[in-house]
Structure 1
Amino acid sequence: MEAKPQQPGTYRTDRQAFLRVPPAPPPYRLALVLHGAGGPAEQALEWLRPQTGADDLLLLAPRSSGSTWDLIVGGYGPDVVRIDTALAGVFRRFPVGAADVAIAGFSDGASYALSPGLTNGDLLGAVPAFSPGFMAPMLRHGRPRIFVSHGTEDRVLPIDRCGREVVRTLRDDDCPVTYREFAGGHDVPADVAAEALRWWSTP
């Protein structure tokens, strides 16, 4: 659906991102949502959009430059530029404060969300990571709140060496993390997505 940037709806900001504008008036919160490997940008919207309702939540879903995010295949590169450009466009049009920004993702997108999320923790408030494989922040600034979920039957990114290991590392570093395991595979169940949004809304 095409729409003017300030009108409610879901539309392309350019060839590289989708933006969901809520029906509620500003001020807004913003969730940058990152798709998994091989998934389209629109996929990332589907985890959180059914949970939002008539609220204050902007959803921005950029597309990776390759089949997955640059960090996964060799290091930060063009995807950082894409994300920064997409965010700058949203910030020009909508009133969003740093404390009201979250970077979320699923699978490779969750690994990517955790990495720059921790590096830029002073510029955002929360990092919901659904079934991450790892994290590789270059540096750490600030202390963003972190939500991690993982399926106990995940065969793509097994929970013992992925989700549980990520959470163990975060807790060893005294990061504020909430961890949710669920009975299931490599997925973002609707109740887990809803829980993550409630968690973000209630510091």
Structure 2
Amino acid sequence: MGQESGHGPNRDVAATSQGRLSARPQAIAQPGGLPVGLSRLGLEEGRDGLLFVPRGLDPARPAPLVVMLHGAGGEAAHVMGLVEPAAAAQGFVVLSPDSRLGTWDVIRGGYGPDVAFLNRALERVFAGAAIDPGRIAVGGFSDGGSYALCLGLANGDLFSDVLAFSPGFAAPAVTTGRPRIFISHGDRDEVLPVDKCGRRLARVLREGGYDVDYREFGGGHVVPPEMVAGALARFFS
């Protein structure tokens, strides 16, 4: 990798093209800029996304954040429901953006608009809520699981954990840090076959030195509740 140099738009574009995110949590004396409960992000008129903020966030105890990414042809609501009940009970924030088009940019040919939009969404969350910089996870299902792996591996200095449910691949342009990785996959998945996807990814990532928790379940291209519970338990461990 080449050295980073300079500042401004050119550097931002270069970072975005590598899947790099610049948004970071900040100290907030009086949070409250984000609506409590489930709401739209409010960044775009069309494809936008959802945000869930539990009640009673204490700025003296910054909250964990989970970023959830939907599958191909999906939208934020398809994955928000997987974690919203746990977020309300355990007190963590959930950000779920919509992809700009039918699926995530790298799957369509290269990093760019989805990285930029996610960065905007993260900046909004970080400006309105006290977030624990050591407890930020990126997760997703199917294409969203693949994209979570891509972004998590590229931004291990931001994400402590990656929660990949039935992912197909991981293709980070760069790697940074060593996030912990949770992967679940159904042994009868006909969309993304387990042997070519979940099993192979777990093996390759372990060989690369990552801390991987791989769990296989009996079933197809789905996200069983127990896999979500297992991923979150590991995230909070």
Q: TM-score range by the shorter chain?
A: over 0.9
Cα distance in structure 2, aligned partners of 1:99 and 1:37: 29
Q: Is 1:29 matched up with 2:61?
A: no
CA-CA distance at 1:47 after TM superposition: 1.3
Q: Is 1:142 matched up with 2:174?
A: no
Runs of 4+ in 1 over 6 A off after TM superposition: none
2:142 and 2:167 in contact (8 A); partners too: yes
Cα distance in structure 1, aligned partners of 2:83 and 2:234: 13
3-state DSSP of counterpart to 1:60? strand
The count of residues paired between Structure 1 and Structure 2 equals 199
3-state DSSP of counterpart to 2:89? coil
CA-CA distance at 1:24 after TM superposition: 3.7
Q: Is 1:172 matched up with 2:217?
A: no
The equivalent residue for 1:83 is 118
Cα distance in structure 2, aligned partners of 1:11 and 1:79: 20
1:139-172, CA deviations, whole angstroms, 9 ceiling, x for partnerless residues?
1111111100000010000000011111111011
TM-score (norm 1): 0.94
3-state DSSP of counterpart to 1:197? helix
Structure 1 gaps of 5+ residues are none
The equivalent residue for 2:12 is none
CA-CA distance at 1:98 after TM superposition: 2.3
CA-CA distance at 1:55 after TM superposition: 2.2
The equivalent residue for 1:195 is 230
Structure 2 gaps of 5+ residues are 1-31
3-state DSSP of counterpart to 1:81? helix
1:24 and 1:55 in contact (8 A); partners too: no
The equivalent residue for 2:192 is 157
Of all paired residues, the percent bearing the same amino acid is: 46
Cα distance in structure 2, aligned partners of 1:5 and 1:96: 13
Specify the structure having the higher radius of gyration (Cα): 2
The equivalent residue for 2:105 is 70
RMSD across aligned C-alpha pairs, in angstroms? Answer: 1.3
1:44 and 1:105 in contact (8 A); partners too: yes
Q: 1:46 aligns with which of 51, 59, 81?
A: 81
Moved more, 4-13 or 116-125: 4-13
1:29 and 1:96 in contact (8 A); partners too: yes
Cα distance in structure 2, aligned partners of 1:190 and 1:5: 31
